[in-house]
Amino acid sequence: MSTELRFVEEYPYPPDRVWRALTTAEAIADWLMPNNFEPRVGHRFEMRTKPAPGFDGIVKCEVTVLDPPKQLAFTWRGGGLDTVATFTLEPIDTGTRLTLVHSGFKGMKGWMVSKILGGGWRSKILRVYLPAAVGRIGPGGRYTAATLANQVSCSHE
């Protein structure tokens, strides 16, 4: 059963360049969140976003894998989550393929992720039920980490 979120992106830059963007505090602040990251296994750092009910706005992290320029992993804890984010880089002809896996969803959240991403529930939900739900999502709404935390905080777990 899949209990992870997986994303694959290709960027027209060499792995070294992408690696720097993933492992430099200033760069991470630019594309993800303000932080005190250091490229060292075991380093504990925090990323800060807007607080929300049930979430103090702090994502607590610890570097667990640092294998330049191939793989970076850190824990992602806060707002009721105890998960891991893993970034894997591969050189390709056109630059770099980045695979991001957000894993470790347990209990109810693991079930929710697996129901949606595996086992065919998604296709049924998309086909039959989602049209009714789409109306409730604001037009062009971009969801930030704070909104995300909001969701997590109302999950009763």
Q: Residues in the site for other proteins, rule: CB under 8 A? A: 5, 7, 9, 11, 13, 17-18, 21, 27, 30-32, 98, 100, 102, 107-108, 111-113, 115-117, 121-122, 124-125, 129-130, 132-133, 136-138, 141-148, 150-151, 154-157
Looking at the chain, which runs of residues are DSSP E strands? 5-11, 44-48, 58-67, 71-78, 81-92, 95-103
Rounded least distance, CB 41 to other proteins, Å: 22
Tell how many helices (H) and how many strands (E) occur in the chain: 6, 6
Smallest distance, other proteins to C-beta of residue 61, A: 14
Are 7 and 86 in contact by the 8 Å Cβ rule? The answer is no
> Closest approach of Cβ 124 to other proteins, in Å?
7
Give 42 or 146: the residue with its C-beta nearer to other proteins: 146
Closest CA to 73 of 60, 62, 59, 86: 86
- Nearer to other proteins by C-beta: 11 or 45? 11
CB of 151 to other proteins, least distance (A): 5
Complex with other proteins: residue 10 or 42, whichever CB lies closer: 10
Cβ proximity to other proteins: between 42 and 136 the closer is: 136
CA distance 117 to 58: 27
89 touches 101 (CB < 8 A)? no
Between 31 and 42, whose beta carbon lies closer to other proteins? 31
